[in-house]
C-alpha cells in the first residue's frame, strides 16, 4: 500500500509500495501539483514501472510551465530502478 502525504505546498512524502494498484490514488495526489515539488522517498520501499509512469507523466506536465519534480532520500534499490530505467537523467535526484 502507498501513502502519499502532502507536506506544505511544495512537497509530497511517499511511504510504502508504489505499484500498479496505487496508480489511481497517486495520480490524484500528483495532479494537485502545479509548481516545483520535492518528493521525499525516504520511506518508499518499492516502485514499479506503473509508479515510474505516474512520476514521468507529472514531470512532463510540469515541464510545460518550467516546473519539475525533485526526488530526494531514495534508498539504494529505488535509485537502481531509476538508473536502470534511465530515469535518473529525467529527474533531479538528491
Query: What does the pLDDT look like over 34-62, one tens digit per residue?
Result: 999 999 999 999 999 999 999 999 999 99
Strands (E), 1-94: 2-6, 11-18, 37-47, 69-72, 92-93
Residue in the structure block whose three cell numbers are 525533485: 70
The pLDDT of residue 9: 83
Q: How many CB atoms lie within 10 A of CB 84?
A: 9
In this predicted model, what pLDDT tens digit does every residue of 11-37 receive, in sequence order? 999 999 999 999 999 999 999 999 999
> Which pTM was predicted?
0.94
For residues 38-53, one letter each, b for 16 or more C-beta atoms within 10 angstroms of the residue's C-beta and e for the rest, the string is bbbbeebeebeeebbe
CA 13 to chain centre: 9
Amino acid at each position: 500500500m502507498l501513502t502519499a502525504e502532502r507536506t506544505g505546498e511544495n512537497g509530497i512524502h511517499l511511504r510504502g509500495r508504489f505499484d500498479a494498484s496505487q496508480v489511481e490514488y497517486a495520480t490524484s495526489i500528483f495532479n494537485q501539483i502545479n509548481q516545483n515539488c520535492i518528493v521525499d522517498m525516504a520511506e518508499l520501499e518499492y516502485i514499479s514501472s506503473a509508479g515510474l509512469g505516474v512520476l514521468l507523466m507529472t514531470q512532463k506536465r510540469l515541464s510545460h510551465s518550467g516546473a519539475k519534480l525533485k526526488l530526494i532520500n531514495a534508498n539504494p534499490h529505488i535509485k537502481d530502478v531509476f538508473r536502470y530505467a534511465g530515469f535518473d537523467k529525467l529527474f533531479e535526484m538528491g
